[in-house]
Amino acid sequence: MSKLYNTFFIVLVVTLLVTVFTNTISYAAPFGDGYYGTHVPYGDLDSLTISNSGNINIAIVPSSTTTNTSSSATGTVTVVSTDVVGYNLYLRTVGGTALQNGARSVASSSNISEAALAVNTWGFNTDGTTNYIGPSATDTLLTSFSGPADTGNVTSVTYGVTVDRTVAAGTYTATVMYTAVPQTN
């Protein structure tokens, strides 16, 4: 006699917003402290642009042998900057931290440092492991890059989710914003 399993399919869509800062003004440093003529000709403005690989879709198909299922997907954020000091790249959620599907949701992980996801939570990391940090509505530093990134510096961000069979099938979404800020010192 075969046992029937309730199978469902969850697609998690992380809509990514991008904040772009361009044409920041470079001010002169005291004599001997600056980076004269490096990457930004005298009198020109620094530039910084940011782009991402688009929406992240995580498909989850529950296992017939376990009660919890985990899955992940990776996207990239590329920052191009002529700022010789570098930049900081941040991530935060917009409009709430949970993955939403109408009135149903999957909570953001409570992990403040990388750790395994609790059941029915989601998170992110930048090292591609199975340990995640819970996204929050305040900026979380993803990377601090030193020096110019004239050809582009790529940061990989992996999103993961762990759910059990109590989570209803459907598409759950959250909006994540990346912000790149030039460093000044």
Residue 119: closest CA among 164, 159, 160: 164
* Cα(145)–Cα(151) distance, integer angstroms: 13
- Return the pLDDT at 98: 94
Residue 112, Ramachandran bin (φ over 0: left; ψ between -120 and 50: alpha; else beta): alpha
The structural domains of the chain, with segments of one domain joined by +, span 10-182
For residues 65, 99, 160 and 3, what is the CA-based torsion angle, rounded to 10 degrees? 10
Between the two ends of the chain, the Cα-to-Cα distance in Å is 70
**Tens digit of pLDDT per residue, the chain (185 long)?**
433 333 333 344 445 433 333 444 445 444 445 555 555 555 456 778 888 888 898 888 777 778 888 999 999 999 998 877 889 999 999 899 999 989 999 999 999 999 999 999 999 999 999 999 999 999 999 999 988 888 899 999 999 999 988 888 888 889 998 988 888 66
Cβ-contact 168, 93 below 8 angstroms: no
Report residue 57 as tokens.
């879709």
- Return the pLDDT at 35: 52
* Cα(152)–Cα(136) distance, integer angstroms: 26
Cβ-contact 147, 86 below 8 angstroms: yes
| Cα 58 to Cα 66, 125, 165, 173, distances in angstroms | 19, 15, 16, 10
Looking up tokens 């912000």 gives: 179
The pTM of this model reads 0.80
- Return the pLDDT at 84: 79
- Return the pLDDT at 127: 96
Report residue 175 as tokens.
């909006």
* Cα(45)–Cα(29) distance, integer angstroms: 15
